[in-house]
Amino acid sequence: MEFSADRPTFFVNPDYRPMTGAAKPVIDPATLETVGAIAAAADGEIDAVLTAATKAQTAWKKLDAKSRARHLHAVANAIEAADFTRCAELMVREMGKPYPEAIGEIANCAPIFRYYAEMARDDAGKVAGTTQAGSFQYARYEPYGTSVHIMPYNFPILLMCWTVAASLAAGNACVIKPAEATTLSTLDYFKVFRSLPEGLISCLPGGAATAQALIASDRTHAVAFTGSVAAGKAVAVACAERMKPCVIEAGGSDPLIISQHAPLDVAAAGSVTAAFHLTGQVCTSAERFFVVDAIHDRFVDLFAEKTRTLRIGNGLDKTEIGPLVSEAARAKVMRLVDDAIRSGAKAVTGGRIPPAHNVGWFYEPTILTGITPDMTIVREECFGPVAAIYRVKDFDEAIELANDSPFGLGASVFTTDLAEAHEAAERLEAGMVWVNNPLIDNDALPFGGWKASGLGRELGRQGLDAFRRSKMVIIDHKPAIQDWWYPYPDSWFREAGGRKHV
């Protein structure tokens, strides 16, 4: 059967299959209209997926690197050739993302498959200096088996491709548990995987119970998760109980420092995107701003001026700011903003539901000044269109306050002072640091956080190694009896109180 948004389905390559569970409507966060229907996986559907994955992986792991790379390049070719209009529209209607961002995310995943297709051909095992003459001693890498990928709603396709490409390249089968909010667009995307061997990749809709069942199964062997800190900790604990490796990307509350040496026009423009991209629903969104006193007022004026030009509305229209993904998501943002204002902060822009958009889960891009370290908004991840600005006396205080957080995903700085740029890169407690260009990534560099923001890394060589295990191999090509084998010669023993000891 082919995919239809109106009936619940799951995917086991190359087929869509009907689901037996109760249908649940998918609601457009901009219009509150019904977009389609999804269901949670039943036990039989989970079993079917894992049975297919296990069978497929047995053959996949035996493929030579060149053949595996050819399959991944075929996926990249399918991505580049596909028309993703419907998929992008579904994503907009499911979670509110502006259409240009949806189509860009969906269409721009081919490079990651090409990167890992070639990365995996360079196995990068290690031949060690021998500890014994005549012995060949080296490390090799092998796949785990079947990997589980538990995805978020904000970048459901791109982040899936990051870990799926690496896992496939390493020789694993993949089972994807999409976010409930973006199940339809994720399922629609799976057509690009049809050139892969039968059963090697699957998409299994459901909620937390489905994720828990996949993690608990003896037929899964590694887990990749992106989501909240609380859920990430639960996944890490569940994996630890089973000695199952995991990669956890758990979000954060990223700092952004505006130095007195910052180019303010550039800094203000960049801050608008850093804070409000995808309505602030980006794990690496800048949420805590530290602006040096000497340029604070001028920066706030420029930042507010540029923020007021942003268009709010349905992601299918010409807009930069769509709705938040759900009523609960907006309620959290409103709670944090209202609490900050009660504690003395000032809303320079926003701080309210836009009057022209009283249907759907919209919230105005909000700039708060007068922020202090004790406010709840800087201790939690806001995950909404809010920039909370501290006034700091100098660059050193900005660094100190930026690090005063349980999170450590990314951090940004705007400065033209080379010494400050290097200081920031060295001293900021984060897995990623951006100077004058926030939020960008690179397929060849590791992506991930420190502290509560996660475990392990995606992308780069580390992203590949997350889905394979090492094996030490020792080969003596001329078998010989070794002098340290049993029994020990008498000369190795010493007398001690009438008894012999080794």
| Residue in this structure with the two tokens 């062997």, named with its chain if needed | 221
Q: Is 185 helix (H, G, I), strand (E, B) or coil?
A: helix
Active site residue 283: yes
| Helix (H), strand (E), coil (C) string for 218-286 | CCCCEEEEECCHHHHHHHHHHHHHCCCCEEEECCCCEEEEECCCCCHHHHHHHHHHHHHHHHHCCCCCE
- Can you read off the two tokens belonging to residue 225? 């998760």
Return d(Cα 42, Cα 367) in angstroms, integer.
Answer: 45
Distances in whole angstroms, Cα of residue 32 to Cα of each of 28, 29, 49, 130, 458: 5, 5, 33, 66, 35
Return d(Cα 457, Cα 443) in angstroms, integer.
Answer: 12
Bridge partners (DSSP) listed for residue 9: 18
Q: Is 137 helix (H, G, I), strand (E, B) or coil?
A: strand
Which DSSP string do the residues of 41-55 spell out, in sequence order? PPHHHHHHHHHHHHH
- Can you read off the two tokens belonging to residue 123? 């196995």
Residue type, 90: L
User: Catalytic pick from 89, 101, 105, 249?
Assistant: 249
Bridge partners (DSSP) listed for residue 501: 494
Return d(Cα 144, Cα 79) in angstroms, integer.
Answer: 27
Bridge partners (DSSP) listed for residue 470: 141
Q: Is 300 helix (H, G, I), strand (E, B) or coil?
A: helix
Distances in whole angstroms, Cα of residue 360 to Cα of each of 28, 101, 243, 427: 8, 20, 43, 42
User: Catalytic pick from 87, 109, 246, 283?
Assistant: 283
Per the CB < 8 A criterion, the answer to whether 126 and 471 are in contact is: no
Residue type, 214: L
Cis before 14? omega within 30: yes
Q: What is the DSSP letter of 323?
A: -
Count, residues in the chain: 502
Other C-beta atoms closer than 10 Å to the C-beta of 82 total 15
Active site residue 249: yes
Return d(Cα 76, Cα 156) in angstroms, integer.
Answer: 17
Query: In sequence order, which residues have a C-beta less than 8 Å from that of residue 234 and are 6 or more positions away?
Result: none
- Can you read off the two tokens belonging to residue 232? 């990430």
Other C-beta atoms closer than 10 Å to the C-beta of 34 total 13
Return d(Cα 468, Cα 472) in angstroms, integer.
Answer: 13
Nearest residue to 24 via CA among 232, 207, 260: 207
Other C-beta atoms closer than 10 Å to the C-beta of 109 total 23
Known catalytic residues? 249, 283
